[in-house]
Structure 1
Amino acid sequence: MNVKPIYFLVVSLFLASCSQKARIILLPDTQTYAEKFPEIMESQLNWIAKNEKEISFVLQQGDLTQNNNDKEWIAVKKAFSKIDNKVPYVLAVGNHDMGSGPGKYADVRNSAAFNSYFPFKEYAKAPFFGGSFEQEKLDNSYYLITTGKIKWIIITLEFGPRNEVLEWADQVLGKHQDRLAIINTHAYMYDDNTRIGEGDKWRPQAYGIGKDSAAKAVNDGEQIWNKLVSKNQNVRFVFSGHILNTGVGTLTSINEKGLPVYQMLANYQEGVKGSVNGGNGFLRILDLNFKKKSIKVRTYSPYLNEYKLEPTQNFDLKDIKYNSIIK
């Protein structure tokens, strides 16, 4: 019996199945772990490393540290080094990751510590690195990743992105209209299932950088939507953290071309209602099925080996538009 045709058929079916799926891990605000519980953050990254073959890429939503000091950055760097050259990952800069010094939260737009521990030259070598807004800085950068038949562009934006940054991101998206786009940033969604706007707590304009104007003026979630997200039909997802209260929010909005944009807030840090040990290591698992046009969203803690089962933490999205452009 000739087993080769059967073998190649099995392999082909397996590869075809893999090309129809992707797994994205969302790793929001790790700040409390960096400050108080580094072993919990390490459990998250150990789990990702252990499951590297099943994970397409990791997106971190900012506030890597609590106090922007060397001790915490060392802990963060140590944890993320566990997946270097194993799983592509994209980091965001939060308000706790920038400032004039340790414990100064976004009083000025200074992210020197972040860029020291995660140096541009090192991460720009990655085959999936696309480019950045500023030379030698990863604060605003983009990445080109392919999962199966889906080509992605992931743009990570600073806390309260400046007008000039949104203009840059708009140009980048325009040059990559064949790619399905994800915006990854620290502050965008609020926990009432709306975008951050006037009257909301923790709005970027309430920090020191909020005094900047013209090209340097900061933008909240609603402004990011109006100036960037809604205008670009290939943007399909926006992920963020930052907000306390319940720490979760989900919103589907229709952009100017009539296409849906799926927006999610997830945050488990100290100060979020019900939070223990700064979040007990909970993260988001997004299982994308391109054939079934669906996403399974699960909230899991490698530290506890437990899932959150509340409807806001455990839900499915259907009829996902995985095409980047509809003409």
Structure 2
Amino acid sequence: MFKTQIATYKNLSDADKKKFIADTLLDNALYILVLILIICVVIYNPRFISGSSIINILTLSSTRLVMALGIAGTVILAGTDLSAGRMLGLTACISASLLQAPDYAAKMYKSLTWLPQDPASSIIGQLICVIIIVMIVGGIIGFFNGFMSARFMLHPFIVTLGTQLIIYGLSLIYATWGSNAGAPIGGIDQRYTDFVIGNVFGDSDFYLPWLLVYAIIISAVIWFIWNKTVFGKNMFAVGCNAEAAKVSGVSVFWTTTLVFMLAGAMYGLAGFLESARVGSNTAATGNGYELDAIAACVIGGVSFTGGVGKVKGVIIGVILLQIINAALIFLNVPGSITYIVRGAIILVACAIDMRKYLIQK
């Protein structure tokens, strides 16, 4: 990429070289600002680039990455998904309620005794079962989103805005089931926690958590689906031009529906992982997560105009956003200012994306 840009630069006239440099700086303005921010934070607090700090940033990015990869598919279709955060919250509550420790006094389902009493026993089978359950729940809701968008030609923004509220209501209802009475769903089994956020190896200075390993595996699977399957090719074709894709024999209805189903399953998986990371889940778990995920997609080059996006771009976008959040914490920036910065990032990223689109036209 850089070699191509250098070769292009050398063949330009002096006037065009200045314009080329200005355009390049503008297109990469967000990355440049993040780099400047990192330098400032390192000067202020060198611990920001310590091994444990870097691993912590990557670990915190893992769950958001799983969600962002789901949302990225809907953005590639020139849509979006505002229900992602609430879907994560619902599936996180379901995961926590099904995997509470057997001896936890405030168990949501006191009659549920499917986990072994012995703390040394394996619960891999139960964990896989819960993963399947939450992915099915997410997939069903995703199917509804995709069906409504494709069948009735409704913009995904409107559809998912409605389902966002519906899912939040379902989460509030679910939190009152059993003996829970709306209290935070905690007391999750330590074996579940270890399965998600336990360390593969390492110590406090440098370690590799399982959550990061799962994120890498999931990213590889999504990369394969996007780039090596007919479904992935159809997704990009519909995102580029739905009418042209339809003429070419692509089922726009089923492609759109399946993209939202895959996204929903990803949110369910993210909910399973986030539930163990958070430890105590409520109906508010996941609130606003979809905004960070959408911002990460745009930062990573997934275009709202449709048909453009790469897995590596989404990964970069999620990590950059988490670096910014961590940097603001290291600089002791108030939480209220953090929201302003995140909002500004979304606006800048979208403006840069639209500028690239207009230049291409």
Task: Flag whether TM exceeds 0.5 (same fold).
Answer: no
Kindly indicate which of the two structures has a greater share of residues assigned to helix.
2
Identify the structure with the greater strand proportion.
1
Please state which band the TM-score falls in when normalised by the shorter chain. under 0.3
Higher RCO (C-alpha under 8 Å, 6+ residues apart): 2
Structure showing greater Rg: 2
